[in-house]
Amino acid sequence: MCGIVGYWDNHGANTAVAEQMALRIQHRGPDGAGTWLNETGDLAMAHRRLAIIDLSPAGQQPMTSPCGRFTLVFNGEIYNHPDLRANLESEGGHFDWRGHSDTETLLAALRHWGVEKTLRRLNGMFAFALWDAQEKALILARDRLGEKPLYYGKNGSCFLFGSELKSFKIHPNWQPEIDRDALSLYMRHNAIPCPWSIYKGIKKLPPAHFVVIRDAGREISEPRCYWDLSTIAEQGVANADQNNTVETLSDELDLLLRDAVKIRMAADVPLGAFLSGGYDSTIIAALMQAQSSNPIKTFTIGFNEQGYNEAVHASAVAKHLGTEHTELYVTPEEAMAVIPRLPTIWDEPFSDSSQIPTLLVSELARKHVTVSLSGDGGDELFYGYSRYTQGDRIWSTLQRIPQPARQILGDLLRIFPGTPVEYLLGFLPKRFQIPHLADRLPKLGDVLKERSAISYYQNLVSHWKKPDQLVLGSTEPTTLFGNPAQLPDLSGFREQMMFIDTMSYLPDDILTKVDRASMAVSLEARVPLLDHRVVEFAWKTPMSMKYRDGNGKWLLREVLYRYVPRELMERPKMGFGVPIEHWLQGPLRDWAESLLDEKHLREEGFFDPVPIRKMWEEHVSGKRRWHYYLWDVLMFQAWLRENR
């Protein structure tokens, strides 16, 4: 795991600038550094190394092929690199191997098979830049699911690329301009979706794509896809064998997951796993322990606040599996102490508040290991989110109501006095009470008025519903939600929700959160459930095997129960979050008030302060719960102050 950076300028480049740019992302690679300048002196690339495989100097980067044509900087891990070496040698190529690093294997493969054929053979997480001296072309590529980040774009006369935006700020000619359209997307999604970034002219390379750059960025190709999830999902759903038995599919998934975990346990440094006690992290820990002769290391953080603590469950799982378990209970003060660091770590506005515990558990793990396996991805692949079940149920009900009647009912619910009704219900027995009725009725009113399943789901997962009215001077760009024709031909709404999340929420939020949190402390996080073979298997699995008896991730659970007793796992799903709602009303109130000051909001000129101030006053008074909306604003404001 590493950090990469580079720039291409027809006026000339130098390694000193590239070295300083790379130093800004030293946390991604504290074990070594290297720079390289091309033969014409206009392209500089730099690398920061976190040594995982082949700790010797033979794994150092930038790495140039023996023929001198290709030079590579690479961030990530290629898990099947031993097989690729064997394949390369069996095809008769001459390879004078200098070491056993996956970087050297990747470079040899790119030289032997070419870019696109190599990308299709890789099993890994990666972002890389490859210079082809013969073609005078720079190729940038990113892994299938977007586990590793890669930014690129023109800024003035210079073309920049790198793992994190913060390195760009070191370049002497950096001229940033905030993209208000991207900001409106952030206010809806609490993260800036690919391909946008917070800065004009700078993009994120989409997952499963590569791009070719020539002439210092004057010629940038359209990103080319080498693994099309749309086709995989469409063909998988169409060809799913509805007659397959539970035993057959469980056996196949068990073997797939075992291998996905096994190849991610290869490391020349200490390794462990995050363990929350939920289904996904537990199955990863269980499969690690089943394939290890020694107790594996597992890590959990806990909170004393009721409703936010999974440490007790994780401890019980760890005891059953026999892992070497480390847990740390975090006080609210310790958790809140992380907040000032968030704008620097996440580099562009990002407001998924679970970034706080993710960073804390990464810090805990890094004290003991250099690599940690994570259970992310199970919800998107195996129908795990409660919003899938609830969303499908509500949409099915709404379709029975004529659209005109839904419009009228929606308007009524928007103005219905939920607060006094909620107060009166408080005098009734608990089973008759409806918590947060004042929040829920307007939200229900909004979704009642939606005309399509896709627009309904967008409303369901959005924070600010009309962000371009909040962000001054913005026009919200069209994403996958606004292009239903780009969606694959799937069998139903449930599959559409999973596909949209895998294409957007997973890489833009979940994987961004995990990458930045882990790399901030020089920890490599690996995600076995996102092995592309598991993803392809999941799309071939019938929905009846994913959702059954009111439970999502049904098949995944069946595999897990081979390793962990059912009674140890069956409990309500918990999110991995912190009580932001209460913190904003208490210990964070002064901090938030300073960032939401109406005078400052007006002077900065990004937001209309009126709706923000109204939400803030309602939240602190307890009249309404607006913490998700307010956290979006607060994280942008904190980022803005840090990056002026």
**Residues labelled catalytic:** 2
| Cα separation, 5 vs 487, whole angstroms | 34
Copy the structure tokens of residue 20.
């300083």
Given a contact cutoff of 8 angstroms between Cβ atoms, the answer to whether 350 and 643 are in contact is no
| Cα separation, 467 vs 474, whole angstroms | 9
| Cα separation, 491 vs 494, whole angstroms | 8
Contacts with 570 (C-beta within 8 Å, 6 or more apart), sequence order = none
Given a contact cutoff of 8 angstroms between Cβ atoms, the answer to whether 47 and 29 are in contact is yes
User: How many angstroms separate the Cα of 66 from the Cα of each of 107, 283, 406?
Assistant: 10, 43, 68
Q: Is the dihedral of CA 107, 111, 117, 121 positive or negative?
A: negative
Helices (DSSP H) in 416-549: which residue ranges? 418-425, 437-448, 453-461, 467-470, 493-503, 505, 511-519, 532-540, 543-546
| Cα separation, 102 vs 85, whole angstroms | 9
The residue count for the chain: 644
Reported as half-sphere exposure (CB side, CA atoms, 13 A), residue 10 has a value of 11
Dihedral angle computed from the Cα positions of residues 206, 212, 217 and 223, in that order, rounded to the nearest 10 degrees = -30
Copy the structure tokens of residue 609.
């302060």
DSSP state of 508: I
Given a contact cutoff of 8 angstroms between Cβ atoms, the answer to whether 37 and 13 are in contact is yes
Given a contact cutoff of 8 angstroms between Cβ atoms, the answer to whether 578 and 352 are in contact is no
Copy the structure tokens of residue 70.
């290709």
